[in-house]
Amino acid sequence: MSDKEKRFTELQELIRYHDELYYRHAVPEITDAEYDRLKKELLDLSVELNIPAEVMLVGDDRIEGFVTKPHREPMMSLDNTYNEGEVINFDKRLQEALLKAGNAVAGELPYVVEPKIDGVSVSLTYKEGVFVQALTRGNGIEGDDITHNVKTITSLPKKIIGKRIPELMEIRGEIYMDYATLQKVNKLREEKGLPLYANPRNLTAGTVKLLDGREAAKRDLKLIVYGIGYVDGIEYERLSEFHDALVSWGFPFHRKTWRVNGVDDVIKAIRELDRLRKDFVYPTDGAVVKLDRIDLQQLMGSTAKAPRWAIAYKYAPEEAITLLKAITVQIGRTGAITPVAELEPVLLSGSMVSRATLHNEDEITRKDIRPGDYVVIQKAGEIIPQVMRVCKEKRTWESKPFDFAVFLKEKGIEANREPGQSVWRLTAKKDPVKARRQIMHYASKQAMDIENLGVAVVDQLVSKELVLAIADLYRLRYEDLIALEKFGPKSAENLLRAIESSKTQELWRFIHGLGILNVGAQTAKDLAASFPDLAALKRATAEDLLKIDGVGEVVASSIIAYWSDAENQQLLDDLESLGVCPRNLLSKSVKPLSGKVFVLTGSLPTLSREEATVIIESLGGRVSSSVSSKTSFVLAGEDAGSKLEKAQTLGITILDEPALLEMKKHFEGKGDADTVEPLIKKTERQGLLDL
């Protein structure tokens, strides 16, 4: 095999690898520009070697867990260019082809120039003006059904009203997220110690593929429509005419488009858009140039991959070259180790950059990145700069490949990498690095706020093995502290006092301090506001947790996993027996029936089940479908069956409708749990009738 053939195979594999990351997992490791470079290299080689490049077809975003459905018309990709000359050639090609087909257009060709939004393409089906389905591009022929997530987009018309509405149509558009939402989501993720999304597109791609529409609703997806997929019954002469129809029907449309004649004005529009797009709230990575006349579009047709009547002009992302001074690591709260490039500060896209993420060990190996290298960094809509490649020609003879495993060992970081995983994680349970991190987090201002317990003290306590778990803090004695460096009687006493008073610190601070995966300060506050105490929180089922605003499936399962881990159980037991008893000041927001579980059975005299549920929930109670020992009350109406019997055998208080209404009257206006708790107790003991 020649070198060129070898490179061809390598490129095919690389592109397949990056396709998988981009389309299926929404976590690309390289920017679009880098990807396009690989594709261009492959295309050039395929011509040179005369081999058909099968991977030139569109990628495939379909994933497990989604129903795949066919598109009425294929969803195509676009040919890309970074070069104005190629836009001119594109126009020339069209003129020549149309001339050949006997359709020479008098004068210049009519074009529409639109922003190219960097999001995820979607096909929306409307039947008689009613939104019925949303599909991803998939493999172009069939896509994943994401209707449940797309439904949450507020600007999506669910029913269109207006003139000339086709009976059946597929509209093509782009789902995106604005920079502000990305920042909001990333801030929360940072707090929870989760990896950040590099750009709005990745977050969008991840969000449209959530299985739970409620989670997607929290992410604030947005939409812009731009094209015809399939239209039944109505003929449009121009794409711009369809655009006008989309606007009149109330669809969210581009901030600006250009309708021009001739390639000179196309180029002007492309340049103007480049100036304007910097102020757009959503990410754009180029301009799309489309023939406006639909008859001419049809004459030109498509290749296997893309229409011949359109081209995407991509704006070059800004790049800079700088020195990679060192590779360091960042250790997340959950022990994940991320390599970081420490750079000689350099100006890039308007800001000084001194660090860039290196993602993981494989990324370093694949790009052969070594400390001392000059590297190309790029920021293309991304918040976090990326190291694109190494300037190998600038390497000196002393340069040696970087070995991540050896590096970790030298730093004294005990970590391992599970087979099939890309991430290294801290190992040893009693790992001092991990203990230090946990204690620092627990004592920090944002968590338990223990004064006088700074880095220097924690380092000593951990290295002397006096503290290897949070509970050990409460076992410290005066003699232990006085023996530490720079500790006198006064500082020892102060620290002991601070630790002692942390025993009744606020509950949310304690929850945050535990370092539960995915639970940051805000989530800890939400949890404390929803449960009276730690015991109630520990009893909560996933269903209970999911009722809390701000708690999704990921958070709920992290919390449950935390309680069920033997080591954590031990820690909580230890803390309790050492007298740690956080108080919950946020529990004021606990409603009178918080934590109470109702089961409804039989038909009530005046209220429907839904109305009864609304009353119970408005008082903070929860309605469950089956009776168990966790049930607080059974609300029974006529023809109540086996549930009533079961409640009676379990000794659960039975209420009737008047009792519920009485309860409502009684509690209304008394939001404070402290004042109503005795009443609830009384109710539980006696039934409600004498309230």
Q: Which residue is listed with tokens 């939001």?
A: 671
- CB nearer to ligand IVH: pick between 114 and 506: 114
Among 213, 262, 307, 432, binds ligand IVH (CB under 6 A): 307
Among the residue ranges 34-42, 264-272, 305-313, 493-501, the one whose residues contact ligand IVH (CB under 6 A): 305-313
Nearer to ligand IVH, 31 or 77 (CB): 77
**Whose CA is closest to 124, among 229, 242, 244, 250?**
229
Name the nearest CA neighbour of 220 among 259, 261, 185, 174: 185
The single-letter DSSP state of residue 298 is H
- Judged by beta carbon, residue 137 or residue 434, the one nearer ligand IVH is 137
Nearer to ligand IVH, 174 or 292 (CB): 174
- Which residue has the closest beta carbon to ligand IVH? 121
Q: Shortest Cβ distance from residue 17 to ligand IVH (Å)?
A: 20
The CB-of-18 to ligand IVH minimum distance in angstroms stands at: 15
Does residue 76 bind ligand IVH (CB under 6 A)? yes
Q: How far is the CB of 212 from ligand IVH (least distance, A)?
A: 24
Q: Which of 42, 177, 205, 312 binds ligand IVH (CB under 6 A)?
A: 312
Buried b / exposed e along 408-428 (16+ C-beta atoms within 10 A):
beeeebebebeeeeebbbbee
Q: Binding pattern to ligand IVH, positions 618-657, x when CB under 6 A? A: ----------------------------------------
Q: How far apart are CA 683 and CA 621, in angstroms?
A: 14
Number of H helices, E strands in the chain: 26, 22
The answer to the question of residue 586 lying near ligand IVH (CB under 6 A) is no
Shortest separation between residue 174's beta carbon and ligand IVH, angstroms: 5
Rg of the chain, C-alpha, whole Å: 31
> Could you give the 3-state DSSP secondary structure of residue 609?
helix
Question: Which residue from 227, 335, 385, 532 is in contact with ligand IVH, where contact means CB under 6 A?
Answer: 227
- CB closer to ligand IVH, 39 vs 219: 39
The 365-394 contact track toward ligand IVH, x by CB under 6 A, reads ------------------------------
**In angstroms, what is the minimal distance from the CB of 288 to ligand IVH?**
4
Alpha-carbon distances of 298 from 97, 113, 679, rounded to whole Å? 12, 18, 75
Could you say whether residue 519 binds ligand IVH (CB under 6 A)?
no
Q: How many CA atoms lie within 13 A of 46 on its CB side?
A: 16
CB of 114 to ligand IVH, least distance (A): 4
**142, 71 contact by CB (below 8 A):** yes
Given 12, 46, 77, 125, the residue binding ligand IVH (CB under 6 A): 77
How far is residue 137's CA from residue 144's CA, in Å, rounded to a whole number? 7
Q: Which of 46-54, 70-78, 370-378, 620-628 is the region at the interface with ligand IVH (rule: CB under 6 A)?
A: 70-78
Could you say which DSSP state residue 238 is in? B
Q: Supply 282's token pair.
A: 């959503």
Torsional sign, CA 179, 278, 80, 266:
positive
Integer CA distances (angstroms), 485 to 482, 541, 593, in order: 8, 46, 52
Q: Least separation, in Å, of the C-beta of 546 and ligand IVH?
A: 33
Give the three-class secondary structure for 654. strand
Interface map 109-128 toward ligand IVH (x if CB under 6 A): -----x-xx---x-------
Half-sphere exposure of 503 (CA within 13 A, CB side): 18
Candidate list 33, 239, 288, 659; residue touching ligand IVH; CB under 6 A: 288
- Quickly tell me which residue has 């795949």 as its tokens: 68
**Per-residue DSSP letter, 652:** P
**Minimum CB distance to ligand IVH, residue 309 (Å):** 9
Comparing CB distances to ligand IVH, the nearer of 77 and 360 is 77
Sign for the CA dihedral angle at 433, 571, 455, 441 comes to positive
Query: Which positions from 457 through 516 interact with ligand IVH, judged by CB under 6 A?
Result: none
How far apart CA 201 and CA 241 sit, in angstroms, is 29
SS3 label, residue 81: strand
Asked if residue 518 lies in contact with residue 555, where contact means CB atoms within 8 angstroms, the answer is: yes
Which range in 75-83, 335-343, 470-478, 615-623 contacts ligand IVH by CB under 6 A? Answer: 75-83
**Minimum distance, C-beta of residue 503 to ligand IVH, in the bound complex (Å):** 56
Active site residue 490: no
Interface with ligand IVH, residue 671, by CB under 6 A: no
Type of residue found at 567: E
One-letter amino acid at 312 equals A
Member of 98, 153, 267, 310 binding ligand IVH (CB under 6 A): 310
Q: How far is the CB of 269 from ligand IVH (least distance, A)?
A: 13
| Percentages (nearest 5) of helix, strand, coil residues in the chain | 40, 20, 35
For the bound state, the minimum distance from the C-beta of residue 76 to ligand IVH, rounded and expressed in Å, comes to 4
Please identify which residue in 15, 78, 169, 291 interacts with ligand IVH, judged by CB under 6 A: 78
Of residues 139 through 198, those in contact with ligand IVH by CB under 6 A are: 174
Distance CA 273, CA 112 (A): 13
CA angle 597–602–605, rounded 5-degree value: 105
Q: Which amino acid is located at 451 in the chain? A: E
* Count of chain residues binding ligand IVH (CB under 6 A): 14
Q: Is residue 296 at the binding interface for ligand IVH, with CB under 6 A as the rule?
A: no
Closest of 163, 115, 121 to residue 144, by C-alpha: 121
- Residue closer to ligand IVH (CB basis): 12 or 121: 121
Of 116, 209, 367, 643, the catalytic one is 116
> What does DSSP assign to residue 57?
S
**What does the binding site for ligand IVH look like in residue numbers (CB under 6 A)?**
76-78, 114, 116-117, 121, 174, 226-227, 288, 307, 310, 312
Catalytic residues: 116
